[in-house]
Amino acid sequence: MRKKIIGLFVCLLLMATAVPAVEALKDNVVNPTISTPTTLTLITNKIEKQKLLHSDVAGIIYFEYCASLDGDTGVVGTYRGDTPYGWGGSVYIFNRINNIWRHQQRIFAPVPEDRDCFGWSVAVSGDTVLIGVPYTYTGDISGHVYVFTRTGTRWTQQAKLLASDGEEWDRFGISVALDGDTALIGSYGDRDHGNWSGSAYVFTRTGTTWTQQAKLLASDGTTCDFFGASVALEGDTALVGAPGDGYLRVGPGSAYVFTRSGTTWTQQAKLFDPNGAQADQFGISVSIDGDTALIGGQQIENYSNGNGLAYVFTRTGTTWTQQAKLLSADGEKWDRFGYSVAVSGDTVLIGAMQDWPGSVYVFTRDGTNWVQQQKLQASGKFGNWFGISVALDGDTALIAAYFVADTYRYGSSYIFTRTGTTWVEQTRLFNYKVTSYEHDQVSRYLTIRASMIESYYQIIEKLFQRFPNAFPVIRYLKGL
């Protein structure tokens, strides 16, 4: 029955995405307004110091979906794209040397069946990276997480982590966090307290061996809490988001704090907005640094102001209190402010990926007061979902954009750095560029096929078959 429900949801989603394409194809003509790539040059922004191209620029990448940053190492995950196994995910590692960011390695799924969602979630700490694979279409559909470690400049697999009681549809690996030798892994499909109630697992490393230390559950967990949708870890403190808590699937949400004493983890606090409304999704994103927790609530419906919120909580002893509720200065409905968050010291980043073409807000703390310091946006015209994922370490920020269409590059990530109180874009990490020939051929083919009596899905399928490397253009032209 569950598979039927999921299948129905996928069908409805496909129908929804088909509407823009049908509109674009009406009157049997397509008039793309994209300039041909041969006339385009790299965007030269006055504050842009460096652009970095992946060492493998061929192929298609749904790039980027998640990002993590620790010191001079940045990690970006994409769960869809070209791989040696075909359509699947991969993870890019970047390293900063002498203030220049360079592509260090691209990591693929160790086995073909893991390609489907390899790179859905990532976390880095020192020379260790976690890569989540929350499900596969074949093989293990409960989810698992890979550990890769770096020796010199090369990354190799150290371990594959599995839940001790994993079952199908658990989505183990939907979120990951890492601090030293401790990993925290979300599994929001776990059913200990009902369907989609969720859980989180703690693993620890001794030498090169990883073992499960604990399974974390909400003390009041219930159906559709989605506990584990987001996780954060700092030393002996774990923060777990449950954005569905309170109502079926679209609750006001909450987040739970757990602490470790020895090898035992106990729930310390439950954080929530007492004035929260249905669909606020408090806990859709979480981050922690020391005694400061940052929690996002994207407000997917217009039950309140509809543009999103973020909350700062601080700990004194064992008591957590709300210090601030953060709002964007120019927020509008559907911005999804709070979909992604990151905190480092007295600075926080808050993503608003639907503040077209996406933006990230920087807030800083003075005493107990928080003020908006700057609004960050990517260079180029058509960044889409800039801020879908954010990471912060000191004065360096790594921000992912799901795709960027200014030169048909399908996805990009950006490094911003701060000097004093000013943030500037230092590096743009991008990948594939469609050729002018592919652009012209796809445009001509769309126009021809639109005049024939064919379904939308047949047209798209044939486009993929004829122009497998031109997917960014196809997506742009069909209006998604």
pLDDT at 383: 53
Using DSSP, how many helices (H) and how many strands (E) does the chain show?
4, 32
Residue 77 backbone phi and psi in degrees, to 5: -110, 145
Q: Which residues contact 11 (CB under 8 A, 6 or more apart)?
A: none
pLDDT at 344: 98
Which range (135-139, 185-189, 349-353) has the least confidence?
135-139
Q: Which residues contact 111 (CB under 8 A, 6 or more apart)?
A: none
- What distance in Å separates the CA atoms of residue 241 and residue 120, rounded to the nearest whole number? 17
Element (H, E) at 210: strand 209-216
Assign 37 to helix, strand or coil. helix
- Between 26 and 471, the more confident residue is 471
Buried/exposed 23-60: b ≥16 CB within 10 Å, e otherwise: ebbeeeebebebeebeeeeebeeeebeebbebeeeebb
Span 165-178, pLDDT tens digits = 988 889 999 999 99
Span 229-278, pLDDT tens digits = 999 999 999 999 999 998 655 668 999 999 999 999 999 999 999 888 77
pLDDT at 3: 38
Query: Is it the case that residue 305 has pLDDT exceeding 70?
Result: no
- What is the mean pLDDT of the segment spanning 111-133? 89
pLDDT at 247: 64
Q: Are 310 and 352 in contact (CB under 8 A)?
A: no
Q: What is the DSSP string of 43-81?
A: ---TT--EEEE-S---S-EE--SEEEEETTEEEEEESEE
- Between 337 and 437, the more confident residue is 337
- What distance in Å separates the CA atoms of residue 147 and residue 125, rounded to the nearest whole number? 11
**Percent share of the chain, pLDDT over 70:** 68
- What distance in Å separates the CA atoms of residue 56 and residue 64, rounded to the nearest whole number? 15
Question: Residue for token digits 């991969």?
Answer: 90
Q: Are 200 and 187 in contact (CB under 8 A)?
A: yes
Which range (3-17, 291-305, 368-382, 421-435) has the least confidence?
3-17
Token digits for 179?
């601090």
- What is the mean pLDDT of the segment spanning 70-99? 84
Band of pLDDT at residue 52, cut at 50, 70 and 90: very low
Beta pairing class for 144-151 and 128-133: antiparallel
CA distances in angstroms from 237 to 182, 233, 253, 267, 318, listed in the order given = 11, 6, 20, 10, 11
Assign 380 to helix, strand or coil. coil
Residue 404 backbone phi and psi in degrees, to 5: -130, 120
pLDDT at 367: 97
pLDDT at 428: 81
Span 309-359, pLDDT tens digits = 999 999 999 999 999 999 998 988 888 899 999 999 999 999 998 888 889
**Over the chain, what is the mean pLDDT?**
78
Band of pLDDT at residue 145, cut at 50, 70 and 90: very high
Band of pLDDT at residue 63, cut at 50, 70 and 90: low
pLDDT at 112: 75
pLDDT at 172: 96
Query: Looking at this protein, which amino acid is placed at residue 288?
Result: I
CA atoms within 13 A on the CB side of 57: 13
Nearest-CA neighbor of 185 among 226, 229, 149, 150?
229
Band of pLDDT at residue 294, cut at 50, 70 and 90: very high
pLDDT at 45: 30
pLDDT at 452: 43
- Between 452 and 83, the more confident residue is 83
Domain ranges of the chain: 47-435
- What distance in Å separates the CA atoms of residue 255 and residue 234, rounded to the nearest whole number? 15
pLDDT at 237: 98
- What distance in Å separates the CA atoms of residue 430 and residue 411, rounded to the nearest whole number? 6
Q: Are 413 and 429 in contact (CB under 8 A)?
A: yes
pLDDT at 384: 72
Nearest-CA neighbor of 430 among 82, 39, 56?
56
pLDDT at 334: 80
Whole-prediction pTM: 0.79
Query: Is it the case that residue 211 has pLDDT exceeding 90?
Result: yes
- Between 372 and 457, the more confident residue is 372
- Between 385 and 140, the more confident residue is 385
Query: Is it the case that residue 448 has pLDDT exceeding 70?
Result: no
Band of pLDDT at residue 25, cut at 50, 70 and 90: very low
Band of pLDDT at residue 30, cut at 50, 70 and 90: very low
CA atoms within 13 A on the CB side of 381: 9
Which range (35-44, 281-290, 347-356, 373-382) has the least confidence?
35-44
Element (H, E) at 106: strand 100-108
- What is the mean pLDDT of the segment spanning 143-148? 95
Residue 399 backbone phi and psi in degrees, to 5: -125, 130
**Percent share of the chain, pLDDT over 90:** 53
Question: Which CATH superfamily includes the segment(s) 47-435?
Answer: Integrin alpha, N-terminal (2.130.10.130)
